[in-house]
Structure 1
Amino acid sequence: MSSPFAVVESLLHEFYTPTTPNARKREIEVELLAFKNQSESWKTCLSAVSNATTFEQNHFLWFFATSTLDHTITRRWMQLGSSDRALLRETLWHTYANLACASAKRQRDTYAQLIALLGKRQFPDEDPNYLAHCVALTKTNFSLGICLLRTTSEEVVSSREDVSTDRKQYFHSCVSICLPEVTDLLTKYLLIAVCHINGKDIHSIPSTLMDYNLITSLPNDNQLSWTIHRNGAYDFTEKLEIWTPIIKGISAHNKLNRFYEIVQLLVPEIMRRTQFEYNKTELELLDNELMEDNTQTEWQQYITQCIECIALIAEPRSSEVFALVFSHWGRPYMYLRSLENDVDCGKTFDFLRKMKSQSLPENLRDFTTICQAVVRIIPLLENNNSELGNEINYHLNEFAENLWTVLKFLISNKLTVFDVDKSIFQTDFDYLYAQVLVAIRSILPLSNILKADQKLVTIFEALTNIFQINNLLRGCTIIQMAASQLLLCISSVIRPKSLLEFPAIINIMQSGPRLSHLPSQVQANIYISIVSYLILPWKNVDERGQDYENIAR
């Protein structure tokens, strides 16, 4: 009979197999959550993570095991006896302290996070030596010690409501008492760093200020070297975490213009790191499947962090950054157009070859990512509207025209004309469809092209199709939500005079109970859209031109 953990390993393997249907994945999620909530499951997981080879042999199993331990510490702590708590603490400390120098950052950070969560609950009553052990570890292994001190400090200021307010304040005050010893140690390491940066002999520092034995705990490699080209998505986001406060700092001191050419060089590198065309080996390792509701996937977290860094750089000079980001638009856009062209020209073989290839979901994701980045910068362009030049206006018009073309392609359902397995690309297709709707909503206030009646007809046709009960997209909440938000934007912000002249809008207004299949928030957005248009005045129409009597009827 298989052990419970062997069953978990088998379930995880099945879950992350590309051919596993979504319905089966949801069943697996239920089984995994049931295992995680078992009273003794944490012991099995603790045994797995204490084995250093588990991380290298099976990433998915290791991450599930550590998430189970996190769940046990944060949600089931009061159910653990003193002996179980001691076992958790001693095993995790021993495993962490014996990590190899070349261990992965994600592995190191996760162990440190679990230990810090224990310290938050046990220091100083159950574990009076917690901070003393952190300091001692820093003196013997700087990388591990400083990582643990950092995660501990994050728990001190964390707003996470996983312990009572009294316990949080008690932990804060107890850590504060020990701060002089910690800051004294860190100051000595900073002196070593200053000497290293300036090429000074470390022994020139008086022995009263320096403990020369600390040098032996430092890694042998040069920690101050340029590392932006290191492999791995997590390594790259670590660099962005360093750059973010730097950019904010020089902006706060009005020195960004002085360093802007250097800072702007980050944008092309960040864009390259977010696209499969250039960074496939790293991106394909990121998981894009949700294990729990209302949480971002690894893929979404990575893309969001990259785009937010670009937006930070774009704040003072949005036009320049917009041009850099938009320069990547053409490639995935032309790929989508090639699919439509294959269908229109009867190139069945070429179309089916593309639909079955791995490049399809990759191009869909690249399109969505670039679209998301452009959308994030557009509000910054609105804030600096007076600075928009002819080139940026040309790009905005091109973007608007392209979005309308893609929307026509999406509502034509041309991807379904042949019988192909949609499970390979369905999730990425749904995100793309939703992102196109979000992009149209974002650019509408700046674009006269999309406000033309011909364009609005296509947009309203798309919205009507999405809201219909027999639509192929039925059940895709992200598309329905994006569509309802677009309708709300048109009726309350754009407010075109001709809105009630479109049959699609009349159809939506008369739907009433036929919208009950939609999520409640989507229904609410539709109703608010209708009411907004009926009570708000038309935009750019004087008082005499407002047809209040006909609207009231």
Structure 2
Amino acid sequence: MASEEASLRALESLMTEFFHSCTTNERKREIEELLNNFAQQTGAWRHCLFFLSNTRNEYVMMYSLTVFENLVNKMWIGVASQDKMEIRSCLPKLLLAQHKSVPYFIRNKLCKVIVDIGRQDWPMFYHDFFTNTLQLIQSPALAPLGLVMLKTTSEELACPREDLSVARKEELRKLLLEQVPTVLGLLTGILETYWDKHSVIASTPPPSPTSGESVELLGTLFQGSQYSKLLCQPMAALDNDSQQLCCLVLECLAHLFSWIPLSTSITPTLLASIFHFARFGCDLRTKAKIGSFISSNSSSSNGQLNPGVMPPTSNGGGRNGQQSEGNKVDRARLGVLAMTCVNELVSKNCVPMDFEEYLLRMFQQTFFLLQRLTRENNAHTVKSRLQELDESYLEKFTDFLRLFVSVHLRRIESSPQFPIVEFLALLFKYTFNQPTHEGYFACLDIWSVFLDFLTTKIKSRLADRESVLNRYKDALVLLLREVLNRIQFRYNQAQLEELDDETLDDDQQTEWQRYLRQSLEVVAKVMELLPSHAFSTLFPVLQENLDVYLGLQQFIVTTGTSRRLNISAENDCRRLHCSLRDLSSLLQAVGRLAEHFIGEVFAARFSDALAVVERLVEVTCYGSQTSLYDLETAVPSVLKPDLIDVHAQALAALQAYSHWLAQFYSEVHSQNQTQFINLITSAVDASSPLITAKVPEKLLLSACHLMVSITATVRPVFLVTLPAVQNIFNLITTENQTRRLPQEAHMLVCRALSNMLLLPWPNLPESEQQWQTRSSNHASLLAALTREYRILRGTVNITPRQPGLDDMKAVIKQTLPVLRDIVDSISGESTKSRQICYQSLQESVQVSLSLFPVFIQQPDVTDEMLAFFLTLFQALRVQMGVAFTGQIIHTFLSMFTREQLAASILQEGSAGCRVVQKFLKILQVVVQEPGQAFKPFLPSILSLCMEQVYPVVAERSSPDVKAEMFELLYQILHQNWRYFFKTSVLTSVQRGAAEDTMENEAQFTAAMQAFGQSFLQPDIHIFKQNLSYLESLNSKHKLYHRKLFRTSMLFHFINVLLQVLLHKSHDLLQEEITLAIYNMASVDFDAFYSAFMPEFLNGCQGVDTSQRAVLARNFKLERDLPSFTQSVQRLVNDLRYYRLCNSSLPTGTIKL
């Protein structure tokens, strides 16, 4: 005894020293080693039992419990049965004796250790484990402790970790499911008892000013519902202990609901009880009324019942104010937990027939709460009511609404007992009174899901489309109007000013842009359902703001060279700012709706679309003519960006209608085109003056994008003859670096000009395309664009310090991206367009090839060159011809020496690395080319891949180069299968057919080894890519059936994939790996079961003979995928479990 006392004091001293701020890391490591050595001793648990009974030191308690936890979870199989009995007896006694005096986290840890024992031994060796928990719950004084045990049991036994065999996991789940009705009955009883005990039912409640409205609005929900009266009862006034106990019950229920199936065990009474407590979340956090809900003598219970939630118990009683605040938080927490329970049930998509009625009842009860949340009275508006509520409660409630609409609306919507229109009215009030932006976003998402549901429903029921729409029309009209109001500063300035419009999120948009985008998505979805109404709502609002913008001309004052906007009064500036911001948003809205005017509805909605396009053309011309972006203003930091943004958005909105303009063009091509010509001419006149380096870049880019869309989508014949277009040609083709546009704008304009000359004109036969004229014009355009670049042709060699090197690099980096963009933009076009493009480019391509060896040591330049060649190979390889393409490949293969490649690859993320990637991409294009033209290059490409690139990347991460190299390898195998296997697929799979005729076997084997090696490395992306490549080769070429693969590789691959599953290194790919194992095994199931499995199990380390026999017996000889998958999962789980058990046995243990 004395020695144990001494050990305890020493341990306390060590623990205190370990956690002291002055202790060095070196000393901490020494203490840690001492403690680990002590814990490994046989019988250490006896000392720990003494420590737990005789110390108040929290560190010592925690350490002792960790020793027990380790013993139970890792060494239990090797503990003597007498010792196990003693531990099973002592720990629950210790818990009962000390649960009130120890901190909550110690109590919870002790509960978990006892539950871990139950996980191993219940019911065979620990038959009273669960009954003890149920008895605790039924004892008033010990109910909180019983509930902590129950929740821990649900967490640890229902979804156990992998340290159990599959058979034991299934047994535990079955045992728990048998107990569910009893447990739910007990928990229901507690909730009912406490509600009834504390309900304050006044004999004559005062009349409510809103009661009439409540009954009227959702009266149909509760006709014949026995719960309607219950839900209308006054709230229970729970004391502190009762609240904590009910919180624990609801936590238990939430976890139970996460795994038990929906069934009649979840009774109507239980649901009603949960909803009683959900009402606590609807309570306002007002200080005046809170006193009546708190019993004056309530005090905190001894230790927290829930870790991390309740504040620590103080020695002295808190002041009333603090108590009230704490109590309000606890009451809100009851509501949050109740809604968590509801959401667990509602999130289940699989609903048995006998549970559908319960679901309906749940929705009825939740909408009673929704009605309470959105009720107005003299004291509170809906918004102020929601602002007063606990944020977590509102989040849970919104989650419920989302789950209801996305998972269950299709089940409930047609029920006569569910008033869907009244529900939408409540959801509307709830949405537009949200106190936070995030809450509002979440509600908009719910509306989006609802609108998708409605659109799908209407498409599937075209016959009664109108009746369905009429049912919802009022709701949709209100929604549209309110969402439009919410994006306008005119109605919502205070909230919109709060939104950040500078910081970009992960999706590269600001908070304001996200707000606007989500709002406009809802507007667009309503437009799809109610097109004419949506348009007649939006267009007048747009007109109103446009009138303000178009009226600004009268306020422009010119003095000398300066022009200013003569609006300076603060109020006027503020109103103008709001109007311009709104106009910008409404222009985006109009652009977003463009898709609803084309296709089948073009004719029906023609006049509306024409009105929009004419207005947009008018406003863009006005903006460009008056140069509003160039004005001096009273508040330049605000109004100038506003004016630029409106102009840019008007151009972008007009661009959105380019598909409509293209359809208009095709409809009128044989009629009077005056109207169309005027629109296009005006649009070009609006864009042309903005294409200059003096214009703000945002506006310049909008004008360039509009020009690209007109030239690529609309393609009017007369475009090239317009004076404005001639001006752009002159700007781009004259030598003047000072007037040069920024690179992105320059590229866009060049693309637009090239499109005009290369793309076929719509609605005209080939004979009227004027290809000859257009071809010579295109040649002139590209000659002008590449003038400086072609001068570099004579360059033979360069030195790093050569004067003018930077200028040469600048010319290359300016020219090649433009050429690449032009080629890219016609890659999907007709042969004629690509032919003309290549003729114009031919000289520049030859210059590039001659410069490539010169700049091989300049990776930033070769990167640009290879990007250009890659685009050429992808788009114009036919036009380049076999001979020249061969010359290019030959040049590249000779330039990229092994040393060159290695040096580039080793600099991960560098320009050199990108060069190698692009080179491999070019080779991918080459090996995919059908026909025999490029087959002679296959040996050298394979050699480069396997002998030069692979050795460098094999043992390094090099993810980017690796990905491209393996894709190249896959394309070589897939597109050139007959290079390795001469026989056809058909003959190879016919039984009795001659075996494969194999060629280039060494290269094939090396490629397969490279794939196999990649499965042993940690990069999950390469693993996934390569696994999919093997599966693809199998589905297309029967790879796994080939004799060479089947006899010398198949089992190696299966073994590697099983080892990956065992090591859990690529857990995200479990399904893909198991499917691949199945496909490989299915080549010859007999061989897999009779040869591979015994060999695999015999080779498994860390398991004994009897365990191997169990593993073999449990792997069922099934041939269908689901059963096979189950067997693989079971094998992996149980093999890991046996290893864990065996590694934890004391040395010298004899296993029976």
Structure 1 position 219, deviation (Å): 2.6
Q: Deviations over 1:170-194 (max 9, x none)?
A: xxxxxxx9xx99xx99x99xxx9x9
Residue in structure 2 matched with residue 230 of structure 1 by the alignment: 433
Distance 2:481 2:518 in 1: 15
Residue in structure 1 matched with residue 452 of structure 2 by the alignment: 248
Q: 3-state DSSP class of the match of 1:218?
A: helix
Change (3 A) 1:273 1:209: closer
Residue in structure 2 matched with residue 284 of structure 1 by the alignment: 497
Structure 1 position 267, deviation (Å): 0.9
Change (3 A) 1:328 1:467: same
> TM-score with structure 2 length normalisation?
0.29
* Aligned counterparts, 1:298-313, within 5 A: 298-313=511-526
Q: Which of residues 264, 283, 296 is equivalent to 1:220?
A: 283
Change (3 A) 1:454 1:210: closer
Q: 3-state DSSP class of the match of 1:253?
A: helix
Q: Which of residues 457, 480, 483 is equivalent to 1:267?
A: 480
* Cα contact 1:440–1:486 (8 A) shared by 2: yes
Counterpart code for 1:385: V
Distance 1:345 1:514 in 2: 31
Distance 1:285 1:537 in 2: 49
Residue in structure 2 matched with residue 534 of structure 1 by the alignment: 757
Q: Deviations over 1:193-227 (max 9, x none)?
A: x9995354276965566655745753326433332
Change (3 A) 1:216 1:366: closer
**How many percent identity over aligned positions?**
20
Counterpart code for 2:761: W
Structure 1 position 354, deviation (Å): 8.3
* Aligned counterparts, 1:429-444, within 5 A: 429-444=643-658
Q: 3-state DSSP class of the match of 1:491?
A: helix
Structure 1 position 334, deviation (Å): 0.4
1:367 aligns with 2:583: yes
* Cα contact 1:319–1:381 (8 A) shared by 2: no
Change (3 A) 1:451 1:493: farther
Structure 1 position 495, deviation (Å): 1.2
Residue in structure 2 matched with residue 497 of structure 1 by the alignment: 717
Counterpart code for 2:690: I
Residue in structure 2 matched with residue 385 of structure 1 by the alignment: 601
Residue in structure 2 matched with residue 340 of structure 1 by the alignment: 553
Counterpart code for 1:318: P
Q: Which of residues 201, 210, 216 is equivalent to 2:227?
A: 201
Q: Deviations over 1:51-72 (max 9, x none)?
A: xxxxxxxxxxxxxxxxxxxxxx
Distance 1:496 1:354 in 2: 47
* Cα contact 1:333–1:367 (8 A) shared by 2: yes
Distance 1:417 1:428 in 2: 12
Q: Which of residues 393, 402, 426 is equivalent to 2:640?
A: 426
Distance 2:744 2:729 in 1: 17
Residue in structure 2 matched with residue 466 of structure 1 by the alignment: 690
Structure 1 position 540, deviation (Å): 3.4
Deviates more, 1:196-205 or 1:332-341: 196-205
Distance 1:218 1:546 in 2: 72
* Aligned counterparts, 1:104-115, within 5 A: none
* Cα contact 2:614–2:679 (8 A) shared by 1: no
* Cα contact 2:591–2:653 (8 A) shared by 1: yes
Distance 1:502 1:461 in 2: 9
* Cα contact 1:400–1:450 (8 A) shared by 2: no
Structure 1 position 305, deviation (Å): 0.8
Structure 1 position 410, deviation (Å): 1.6
Q: 3-state DSSP class of the match of 1:537?
A: coil
Structure 1 position 414, deviation (Å): 4.4
Distance 2:546 2:590 in 1: 13
* Aligned counterparts, 1:314-333, within 5 A: 314-333=527-546
Structure 1 position 453, deviation (Å): 4.5
Residue in structure 2 matched with residue 484 of structure 1 by the alignment: 704
Q: Which has the larger radius of gyration?
A: 2
Change (3 A) 1:458 1:217: same
Distance 2:619 2:554 in 1: 12
Q: 3-state DSSP class of the match of 2:653?
A: helix
Structure 1 position 333, deviation (Å): 0.4
* Cα contact 2:705–2:748 (8 A) shared by 1: yes
Structure 1 position 358, deviation (Å): 1.2
Gaps of 5+ in 2: 1-111, 114-172, 189-194, 196-217, 232-266, 285-368, 375-425, 462-467, 665-672, 777-1152
* Cα contact 2:597–2:606 (8 A) shared by 1: no
Distance 2:572 2:541 in 1: 24
Q: 3-state DSSP class of the match of 1:357?
A: helix
* Cα contact 1:355–1:420 (8 A) shared by 2: no
Structure 1 position 332, deviation (Å): 0.7
Structure 1 position 503, deviation (Å): 3.1
Residue in structure 1 matched with residue 770 of structure 2 by the alignment: 547
Counterpart code for 2:590: V
Change (3 A) 1:418 1:201: closer
Distance 1:414 1:253 in 2: 47
Structure 1 position 507, deviation (Å): 3.4
* Aligned counterparts, 1:50-65, within 5 A: none
Counterpart code for 1:223: L
Change (3 A) 1:353 1:248: same
Deviates more, 1:378-387 or 1:444-453: 444-453
Q: 3-state DSSP class of the match of 1:289?
A: coil
Distance 2:471 2:740 in 1: 54
Higher normalized contact order (CA 8 Å, seq sep 6+, divided by chain length): 1
Residue in structure 2 matched with residue 257 of structure 1 by the alignment: 469
Structure 1 position 229, deviation (Å): 4.3
Change (3 A) 1:219 1:195: farther
Gaps of 5+ in 1: 1-127, 130-176
Q: Deviations over 1:361-402 (max 9, x none)?
A: 2111111111111111121221342562xxx54433332222
Counterpart code for 1:536: L
Change (3 A) 1:506 1:415: closer
Q: Deviations over 1:98-123 (max 9, x none)?
A: xxxxxxxxxxxxxxxxxxxxxxxxxx
1:446 aligns with 2:593: no
Q: 3-state DSSP class of the match of 1:541?
A: coil
Counterpart code for 1:283: L
* Cα contact 2:565–2:631 (8 A) shared by 1: no
* Cα contact 1:272–1:278 (8 A) shared by 2: yes
Deviates more, 1:535-544 or 1:276-285: 535-544
Change (3 A) 1:237 1:197: farther
Q: Deviations over 1:459-495 (max 9, x none)?
A: 33443333312x131xx2x333322221111112211
Counterpart code for 1:472: V
Change (3 A) 1:466 1:450: farther
Counterpart code for 1:443: Y
Distance 1:340 1:354 in 2: 19
Q: Deviations over 1:129-164 (max 9, x none)?
A: 9xxxxxxxxxxxxxxxxxxxxxxxxxxxxxxxxxxx
* Aligned counterparts, 1:178-189, within 5 A: none
Give the length in aligned residue pairs.
366
Counterpart code for 1:343: I
RMSD across aligned positions (CA): 4.3
Q: Which of residues 620, 623, 629 is equivalent to 1:410?
A: 623
Counterpart code for 1:409: Y
* Cα contact 2:597–2:609 (8 A) shared by 1: no
Change (3 A) 1:349 1:292: closer
Q: 3-state DSSP class of the match of 2:598?
A: helix
